[in-house]
Structure 1
Amino acid sequence: MDLHHRLARVLRAHPGRVDLAITAVLLVILVGPTLLSSAVPLEMLAAAGLVLPLVWRRSRPVHAAGLIAAVSVLQLIFYVMPVPAQAAVLIALYALAAYAPRWASLGGLAVASVGCFAGLLRYSAYFGISPFEMRDASLPLFVVIAVLVQSLVLLCWAFGDLARNRRLTLQALEDRTRRLEVERQQERDLAAADERSHIAREMHDIVAHSLSVIITQADGARYASVQDPTVAPATLGTIADTGRASLREMRRLLGVLRGDEETSTRPLPTLADVRALIETVQHAGLTTAYSVDGTSRRELPAGAELTAYRVVQESLTNVLKHAGPDARAVVALAWTPRGLNLTIDDDGRGASADPTSAGAGQGIKGMQERLGLYDGELTAVAPAGGGYRIAAFIPYTEA
């Protein structure tokens, strides 16, 4: 950063100290000569009264300008001679234009213009430029000096107004920068929340299904092996296969999170993998029927097929966990002119009958969120005769 930028930042950060230092310097420069050259107490008081209010030229510009104007009016009334500290009038006018409200800025310009002209008239005879004296050069000289003084007043006000516009522009840019930073942080937070939700759905689908199959198989093997020890090896094989498949899915998901391109490009489950999923569930002891009706008019997006697979997976997992023993499930896929209908029915006792199913609603919510990404619909009902039904619809994505 350049030196003048650092200096400007420091000056903006401590305006009170800067104004105090400037006022002290002006006291030495403008009031000092008056104290040394004049023995008139009123002139010394006028000089001090004109400079001291500049301490508040930025914090209270209207009050500071009012005090300086009052001192100047008293000078005119009591005919106190002008002093070098009269330059404080121009500084106060600049401060009004730069820091005060617009009405005060314009009002200060008018007061300063009238006051300077009145001062010229008041002291013109003392300086030999009175327009009322019968001399050929008096009136033209007075007009020239009056024009120069009014130009100086207008110039000081114009510089202050430019400083005001620059300050307001910088404030607007700073406010816009802060808003953009807040919006960017909000977008990052929303993206992170969406990613966490996506990861939670994937983890739920992978872990819940695999653990349900493993737990079901382990419980069945524990009781069946008492009567028939040969059941244990086959059951342990199913548990091992399910665990390996779950581990592969977990590695793929973690690979995506790490940015591992090799693992992230592995194919995701599709509708073609539903039959293998049902075979896994059947090995876990759940009797499941599977049917496909009709043919697709067009291919579904890969994400929509993954959603359909996850709906079947989550529904069968819920059947394993909540439907009870000897339950049966029916998975039906039906292609219609509008899209794909998925129906998963079971004849068990339903999730509401399971006292351990306090968190069962998370799976339904996850399926609804997945289907919502593809304008799909989900219906989950417990029929009066028992069992549970999951009905989902995924429309074609029309070009």
Structure 2
Amino acid sequence: MDFATGLTYTLFCLLLTATLGFNSSLLTTLSLVAISLMQTAPLMMRRSKPWLATLIITLGHLLQLAFAGLVLPSQLSVPIMVYTMAVYGKRWQSFTTLGFGWIGALLATFSMFNSANSSYGFFSFDMMVSFVGLALVVTVSWTFGDLARNRRLTMKALQDHAARLENERIIERDLAAADERNHIAREMHDIVAHSLSVIITQADGARYAAVKDPSIAIDTLKTVSDTGRASLREMRRLLGVLRKDEEVANRPLPTLANIPDLVQNAETAGLDVRFGFEGSPRKELPAGAELTAYRSVQEALTNVVKHAGPNTTASVQLSWISRGLEISIEDNGRGAGSLTFDGQGYGLQGMSERVALYDGTCSASPRTGGGFTVSVFIPYSED
């Protein structure tokens, strides 16, 4: 755009300048054409190289002073370049161009009024009016350019701010997605690991029992079927949350009241479990905290079934104290020696992460004399 408009303006000025110098000598005409070219051609690069264009145009106007009182149509490039430098030039270049414009207005005034055929004094009133008029043109051009510059910088700042907000939104979305992936991984581990452990244990028992007593195998397979259905319901609930299905997503999550059912399922799987309950709650735990307690007991019993071995006795103790809920799961099996944290230990790791969300503590360690113990503490959420 700058090249096209600058080229058009240059050709127009060259034609008018050549017409003005038609009655002059060839040298004078060529000189005027050259000066006009210097004053207009740089406009074709006024935004790509504004400072270089300003210097060339300034030089062209200085050379024009040799022709006292001469006015060329190419002098319109002065307010154009003053405006351009105010918008796109560096700050010091903008003010320098403004100074060039004022000095040029003064020199142009002297050139017009102090020519050889002029009877004006050194600095008359008419000269002052001329200087003020030319300087005002320069100043107004620079002012409009400076306003455009401030608007451009403001728009750029707003665009940068919008870009930063967009980047922050993307980062927050990625963090939320990562957190949700961890949450889903914990839920999947709790559902799948517990249910499959029970199903595998019962299936193995049914296979051996079927040799001697087929009726035992039938009861055992019923337990496998019930456990599979319960796991399927949990999976559907979890997938329903991912699909934003309100009817499925709003189904109640497991709470402390469901822990006895969890213990009963473990007993059905062949584990001897004693369940104890002490104290009374001073206030209710949040729904998420109760789900965390449920998942902690589920994970601990799953580890007992997987790692403790046969003829194992376990105990689940829930104790309400003044500061919150204490949960203890102990067993006398061989799990302390055989626990290898399959799958990078996501079970115990997930349990610790869940409990930490509610400012609780979680520890898992071998017992003195054999067995394993898991201790969980979930404090009240004090206002």
Is the TM-score greater than 0.5? yes
Number of the residue aligned with 2:86: 97
Number of the residue aligned with 1:330: 315
TM-score, structure 1 normalization: 0.89
Which of 366, 378, 381 matches 1:394? 378
Retained in 2: the 8 A contact 1:129–1:141?
no
Q: In structure 2, the residue corresponding to 1:267 is in which secondary structure?
A: coil
Evaluate the alpha carbon distance shift between residue 225 and residue 76 of structure 1 in structure 2; reply closer, same or farther with a 3 A threshold.
same
1:25 aligned to 2:14?
no
- 1:148-183 CA-to-partner distances (Å, cap 9, x unmatched) read 111111011111111111111111111112112212
Structure 1 residue 336, shift from structure 2 partner: 0.6
Number of the residue aligned with 2:70: 81
Q: In structure 2, the residue corresponding to 1:143 is in which secondary structure?
A: helix
Number of the residue aligned with 1:267: 252
- 1:225-249 CA-to-partner distances (Å, cap 9, x unmatched) read 2233221011011111111111111
1:141 aligned to 2:126?
yes
Unmatched 5+ stretches in structure 2: none
Return the alpha-carbon distance in structure 1 between the equivalents of residues 37 and 163 of structure 2: 43
Structure 1 residue 48, shift from structure 2 partner: 0.3
Return the alpha-carbon distance in structure 1 between the equivalents of residues 111 and 119 of structure 2: 9
Q: Mean alpha-carbon deviation: is it higher for 360-369 or for 381-390? A: 381-390
Structure 1 residue 65, shift from structure 2 partner: 0.6
1:373 aligned to 2:362?
no
Q: Mean alpha-carbon deviation: is it higher for 329-338 or for 367-376? A: 367-376
1:57 aligned to 2:42?
no
Letter in 1 for 2:78: V
Return the alpha-carbon distance in structure 1 between the equivalents of residues 35 and 49 of structure 2: 20
- 1:20-77 CA-to-partner distances (Å, cap 9, x unmatched) read 0110121133222012332521110000011111122111211111111122223335
Number of the residue aligned with 2:367: 383
- 1:257-301 CA-to-partner distances (Å, cap 9, x unmatched) read 222222222222111111111111111111111111211111112
Structure 1 residue 206, shift from structure 2 partner: 1.0
Output aligned runs, 1:1-399, within 5 Å.
18-38=1-21, 39=26, 40-76=29-65, 81-126=70-115, 131-132=120-121, 139-350=124-335, 353-354=338-339, 357-359=341-343, 361-383=345-367, 385-399=369-383
Give the % identical residues: 49
Q: Mean alpha-carbon deviation: is it higher for 116-125 or for 299-308? A: 116-125
Return the alpha-carbon distance in structure 2 between the equivalents of residues 57 and 127 of structure 1: 36
Letter in 1 for 2:214: P
Q: In structure 2, the residue corresponding to 1:291 is in which secondary structure?
A: strand
Evaluate the alpha carbon distance shift between residue 73 and residue 37 of structure 1 in structure 2; reply closer, same or farther with a 3 A threshold.
closer
Return the alpha-carbon distance in structure 2 between the equivalents of residues 218 and 247 of structure 1: 17
Structure 1 residue 129, shift from structure 2 partner: 6.2
Letter in 2 for 1:179: R
Q: In structure 1, the residue corresponding to 2:47 is in which secondary structure?
A: coil
Q: Mean alpha-carbon deviation: is it higher for 108-117 or for 344-353? A: 344-353
Letter in 2 for 1:123: M
Letter in 1 for 2:144: F
Letter in 2 for 1:377: T
Retained in 1: the 8 A contact 2:279–2:320?
yes
Letter in 2 for 1:187: E
Retained in 1: the 8 A contact 2:36–2:60?
no
Letter in 1 for 2:2: D
Retained in 1: the 8 A contact 2:69–2:112?
no
- The number of residue pairs the alignment matches comes to 377
- 1:305-338 CA-to-partner distances (Å, cap 9, x unmatched) read 1110110001101111122222221111111100
Return the alpha-carbon distance in structure 2 between the equivalents of residues 172 and 63 of structure 1: 27
Retained in 2: the 8 A contact 1:129–1:139?
no
Evaluate the alpha carbon distance shift between residue 352 and residue 35 of structure 1 in structure 2; reply closer, same or farther with a 3 A threshold.
farther
Retained in 1: the 8 A contact 2:69–2:113?
no
- 1:114-144 CA-to-partner distances (Å, cap 9, x unmatched) read 12201211232349766427xxxx8222221
Q: In structure 1, the residue corresponding to 2:328 is in which secondary structure?
A: strand
Return the alpha-carbon distance in structure 2 between the equivalents of residues 130 and 172 of structure 1: 56
Return the alpha-carbon distance in structure 2 between the equivalents of residues 32 and 172 of structure 1: 44
Retained in 1: the 8 A contact 2:271–2:314?
yes
